[in-house]
A = this chain, B = another copy of it.
């Protein structure tokens, strides 16, 4: 089965658009602020796509475009302004940032209740401790969980192998799967005999940025294969970390690139914006009554 992230994303968008309209009718306007510093072309595209998606769903989207020579103090002041604005529910600073700005300091400055990317230590800690509170989670792995759920892939008791242990994808992905009852193996650049691990995976999530790292022979027959890669092959064609054309004959379920994980990341960002707005609203109602 091909896991169609684009179709699922479109379906979720329809539901979200209705939900936002319903929330608006109660006076709640989910609002996302995206701050972009400098002119990185890829970042410009990501930010534009986020804005378009938000507008499409009726989510209020504020884009703050700042020059590449912005000081860290000015960026922190801008974040503080939106932290204090109770009409704003999610704040996202597009990475990477220019060299004069400390990314860690910036991520820490975002109110953990508006940390829509789930990158703050407090939200990461809640994820890793399987807290039962509400907390935002890094969007790509959370979107993958939504895909698994939609395609009835239950991680409980399965062996999930993560290839690539980044803080944005691999590590939170493993925590989500562990919290869902999977046996989880983290593999990475220092792993020896990678294939000996991937071949035992019932669920294989690959996020390395290495085009076609995973071949058909590295996959357990029937496994669910999730490819987070967005790489270019020698001809400049967009490909994933998995050799899709051959892997598709071995895997039980597999995401294509493009059209797999990619569309789910932005959709998850929108879901979390709505969720943070609802949680903030409950907090206000509780404090009033």
Residues of A whose CB lies within 8 Å of any CB of B are 104, 120-131, 156-157, 159, 165, 167, 171, 174-175, 178, 181-188, 190-192, 196-197, 200
Q: What chain B residues lie within 8 Å of A157 (beta carbons)?
A: 190-192
Of chain B, the residue at the smallest CB distance from A181 is B190
Contacts of A175 in B (CB 8 A): 128
Given A171-B128, A183-B197, A185-B183, are A156 and B122 also a contact pair (CB < 8 Å)?
no
Interface of A is mostly: mixed
Are the C-beta atoms of A183 and B178 separated by less than 8 Å? no
Which chain B residues border A167 with CB–CB below 8 Å? 129-130
Chain B residues in 8 Å Cβ range of A126: 121, 125
Given contacts A125-B127, A129-B171, A178-B186, 11 further A-B contacts (CB under 8 A): A121-B121, A121-B123, A121-B129, A122-B125, A128-B171, A129-B167, A159-B192, A182-B190, A183-B191, A184-B186, A196-B200
Q: Which residue of B lies closest to A172 (CB)?
A: B128
Contact of A183 among B128, B130, B182, B192 (CB under 8 A): B192
The residues of B that contact A187 with a CB separation of less than 8 Å are 183
Q: Closest CB-CB distance, A282 to chain B, in whole Å?
A: 18
Chain B residues with Cβ under 8 A from A104's Cβ?
A: 131
B123, B156, B174, B196: the one contacting A125 at CB < 8 Å is B123
Select A129's contact among B124, B131, B174, beta carbons within 8 Å.
B124
Point out the residue from B128, B196, B197 that lies within 8 Å of A128, measured CB to CB: B128
Q: Which residues of B are found within 8 Å of A178, using beta-carbon distances?
A: 165, 171, 186, 188
Q: How far is the CB of A79 from chain B (nearest CB, A)?
A: 18
A186 and B183 form a contact (CB under 8 A): yes
Q: Would you give 28 A-B contacts (Cβ < 8 Å), ordered by A?
A: A104-B131, A120-B125, A121-B121, A121-B122, A121-B123, A121-B125, A121-B126, A121-B129, A123-B125, A124-B124, A124-B128, A124-B129, A125-B126, A125-B127, A128-B128, A128-B171, A128-B175, A156-B190, A157-B192, A165-B178, A174-B186, A178-B188, A182-B190, A183-B186, A183-B191, A183-B197, A185-B185, A185-B186
Shortest distance in angstroms between A130's beta carbon and chain B's nearest beta carbon?
Answer: 8
Closest chain B CB from A175 CB (angstroms): 7
Q: In the complex, which residues of chain B have a beta carbon less than 8 angstroms from the beta carbon of A124?
A: 121, 124-125, 128-129
